[in-house]
């Protein structure tokens, strides 16, 4: 009897799924090019040297190099150093210069690089590597030199990046302000091409995901998630897009070009809505935020109208003024709003922390202090000057707190909810030439019918843990022989306290695993993660150790 031979399996190291995706995409693009009458490549080469956006690629290479080597992502892909590169204060100029060009994670920089490639290519196409006017020869001057015009692109992006960092509210990080500036420039100069690029960005994102994660298996899991809009620097994005729009309007005025106003309105509205510029919110402290969706929705419609009105044709160009011309008034409004949003960042960036504002107890790593606390005043917000109150803003914070008076740093780097779910979190501090991690570990005991009891320990890499925080004791919702059972967190562990009335009748450390002890007339036994209390043949579970996601 003949048996069929088994089909050889595809080697796991062979990226055949990615190869299939690339092959199909390239074949489809080749087919589209074959039956398309438009010679898109010829038009691109007429504007760009060899049809390549060299300036955009140079900018992307610089931003990527910052992430890989300055932030250390080349050696620590999942844990780039972020804290010292944020825009903490004008008294910390290093952060102001690096904030716009550094990123918080791989997903963060990937999204910004894709946006730079898409919108930067459109912006560079509008700018062009060759003279725009007829009869002007290439290489006749610095202004007509393609290589000089290529270098203008990264220079302008650098200037816009520093501008967006200097006038951003709070300690931000990321290239998104420049990405929004490129988008604003593109949508007023070439609205139809911009909309195509906007949709193409979604296609590029899908292609990237398919190549990086060709097959994914998902299941339900417990995670700590903050609102997506609370992690977006809306003000930084707003000044970015306004700066890009104004630069685009200036170029249109210089070239005497007039785009389709209705298309500009639609492009501006679609982009503002899709990118969440309507998400106007305020931090309330304690990981809570308040979203004013109604205000943001009205604002994005007004923004689209004003941007579109600024492109209306006029013999007098796009000069701002108080006359009755819509374009002139719209440009003035854009400049005033950009100035107001920029000036609003000045008080937040004048923060000057003092040594006595740092936590007294914590792990010191050079100029940093890392600790854990709950519901304490945020020293960063307290140092923000407001004309309506002397002491600055008052916002409380909780979690793993990282501070540095030298760098004007005060931030709750890990929220309590996130640490409670994961059990352990890593916080990395450092500078351009060094880095060190501090680990936070939280141990929880869930008490029957009441709040959990927990303690948080901190340790340096390779060091011994030290208790940084203990929660309030919690009493189980059960009475045994007229006695109450309370679990209390201590510096060196957990205690079981037995009380009768207002009097403590027994107290001892929580028994070790698979052991029992007698406290105040009750017998306590621990079976792995569960703590039981016995009396007169009755056994009740009074507490259970919580299993965090990071410990499963």
Q: Which residue, chain included where needed, has tokens 């914070």?
A: 397
Contact 166, 349 (CB under 8 A): yes
Token pair of 183 as six digits: 């988008």
Burial letters 67-91, b for 16+ CB under 10 A, else e:
beebbbbeeeeebbbbbbbbbbbbe
* HEC per residue, 474-513: EEEEEEECCEEEEEEEECCEEEEEEEECCEEEEEEECCCC
89 secondary structure, DSSP code: -
DSSP string, 117-130: HHHHHHHHHHH-SS
Token pair of 205 as six digits: 């994102």
Q: Which residue, chain included where needed, has tokens 């610095």?
A: 142
Residues 397, 275: Cα–Cα separation, whole Å = 28
Contact 383, 376 (CB under 8 A): no
| Residues contacting 226, CB < 8 A, separation 6+ | 287, 289, 415
Contact 359, 349 (CB under 8 A): no
Q: Which residue, chain included where needed, has tokens 């992006």?
A: 157
Residues 124, 128: Cα–Cα separation, whole Å = 6
Q: Does an H or E element contain 409, and which?
A: strand 409-414
Token pair of 125 as six digits: 């196409």
Residues 86, 71: Cα–Cα separation, whole Å = 12
Strand partners, 509: 495
pLDDT score, position 243: 94
Q: Whole-model pTM? A: 0.84
Token pair of 542 as six digits: 């009074």
Contact 51, 44 (CB under 8 A): yes
Q: Which of 257, 398, 246 is nearest to 332 (CA)?
A: 246
Residues 412, 407: Cα–Cα separation, whole Å = 15
Divide the 552 residues of the chain into consecutive groups of 10 and give the mean pLDDT of each group.
50 71 82 68 79 93 96 93 94 94 93 93 90 66 84 95 92 93 94 89 84 76 65 83 93 87 92 86 72 87 91 62 72 91 90 83 92 90 66 74 93 91 93 94 93 94 92 93 93 93 91 92 92 90 81 52
- Helices (H) and strands (E) counted in the chain, each on its own, are 14, 18
DSSP string, 271-335: HHHHTTTT--EEEEETTEEEE-HHHHHHHHHHHHHHHHHTT---TTTT---SSS-HHHHHHHHHH
Contact 227, 289 (CB under 8 A): yes
Q: Does an H or E element contain 46, and which?
A: helix 40-47
Q: Which of 529, 360, 370 is nearest to 465 (CA)?
A: 370
Residues 149, 477: Cα–Cα separation, whole Å = 74
Compute how many other C-beta atoms are within 10 angstroms of the C-beta atom of residue 191. 25
| Residues contacting 320, CB < 8 A, separation 6+ | 328, 329, 331, 332, 335
Q: Which of 408, 505, 307, 352 is nearest to 99 (CA)?
A: 408
Domain edges within the chain: 15-40, 48-213+230-349, 350-443, 445-451+468-551
Helix (H, G, I), strand (E, B) or coil at 143: helix
The torsion angles phi and psi of 127, rounded to 5 degrees, stand at -65, -50
């Amino acid at each position: 009897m003949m048996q069929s031979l088994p089909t050889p399996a595809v080697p796991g190291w062979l990226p055949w799924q990615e190869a299939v995706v690339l092959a199909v995409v390239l074949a489809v693009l080749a087919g589209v090019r074959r039956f398309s009458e438009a010679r898109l490549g010829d038009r691109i080469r007429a504007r760009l040297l060899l049809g390549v956006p060299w300036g955009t690629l140079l900018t992307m290479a610089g931003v990527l190099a910052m992430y890989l080597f300055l932030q250390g992502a080349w050696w620590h892909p999942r844990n780039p150093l972020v804290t010292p590169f944020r825009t903490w204060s004008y008294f910390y100029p290093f952060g102001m210069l690096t904030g716009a060009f550094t990123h918080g994670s791989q997903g963060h920089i990937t999204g910004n690089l894709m946006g730079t490639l898409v919108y930067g290519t459109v912006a560079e196409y509008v700018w062009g590597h060759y003279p725009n006017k007829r009869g002007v020869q290439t290489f006749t001057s610095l202004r007509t030199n393609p290589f000089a015009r290529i270098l203008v692109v990264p220079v302008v992006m650098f200037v816009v990046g520093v501008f967006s960092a200097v006038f951003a509210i709070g300690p931000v990080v990321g290239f998104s302000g420049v990405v929004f500036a490129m988008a604003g420039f593109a949508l007023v100069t070439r609205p139809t091409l911009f909309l195509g690029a906007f949709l193409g960005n979604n296609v590029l994102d899908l292609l990237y995901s398919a190549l990086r994660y060709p097959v994914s298996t998902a299941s339900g899991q417990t995670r700590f998630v903050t609102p997506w809009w609370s992690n977006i620097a809306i003000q930084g994005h707003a000044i970015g897009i306004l700066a890009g729009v104004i630069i685009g309007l200036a170029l249109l005025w210089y070239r005497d070009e007039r785009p389709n106003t209705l298309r500009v309105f639609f492009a501006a509205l679609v982009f503002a809505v899709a990118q969440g510029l309507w998400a106007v919110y305020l931090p309330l402290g304690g990981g809570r935020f308040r979203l004013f969706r109604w205000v943001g929705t009205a604002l994005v419609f007004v923004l689209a109208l004003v941007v579109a009105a600024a492109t209306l044709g006029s013999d007098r160009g796009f000069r701002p003024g108080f006359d009755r011309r819509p374009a002139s008034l719209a440009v003035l409004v854009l400049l005033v709003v950009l100035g107001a949003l920029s000036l609003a960042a000045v008080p937040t960036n004048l923060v000057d922390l003092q040594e006595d504002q740092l936590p007294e107890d914590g792990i010191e790593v050079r100029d940093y202090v890392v600790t854990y606390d709950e519901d304490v005043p945020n020293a960063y917000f307290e140092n923000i000057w407001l004309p309506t109150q002397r002491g600055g803003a008052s916002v409380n914070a909780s979690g793993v707190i990282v501070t540095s008076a030298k760098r004007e740093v005060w931030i709750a780097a890990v929220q309590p909810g996130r640490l409670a779910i994961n059990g352990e979190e890593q916080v990395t501090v450092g500078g351009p030439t060094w880095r060190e991690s501090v680990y936070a570990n939280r141990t929880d005991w869930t008490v029957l019918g009441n709040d959990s009891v927990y303690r948080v320990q901190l340790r340096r890499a390779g060091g011994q843990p030290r208790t940084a925080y203990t929660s309030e004791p919690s009493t189980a919702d059960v009475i045994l022989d007229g006695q109450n059972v309370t679990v209390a967190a201590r510096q060196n562990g957990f205690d079981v306290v037995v009380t009768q009335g207002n009097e403590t009748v027994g107290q001892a450390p929580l028994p070790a695993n698979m052991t029992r002890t007698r406290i105040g007339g009750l017998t306590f036994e621990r079976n792995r993660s569960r703590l039981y209390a016995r009396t007169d043949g009755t056994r009740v579970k009074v507490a259970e150790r919580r299993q965090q996601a990071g410990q499963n």
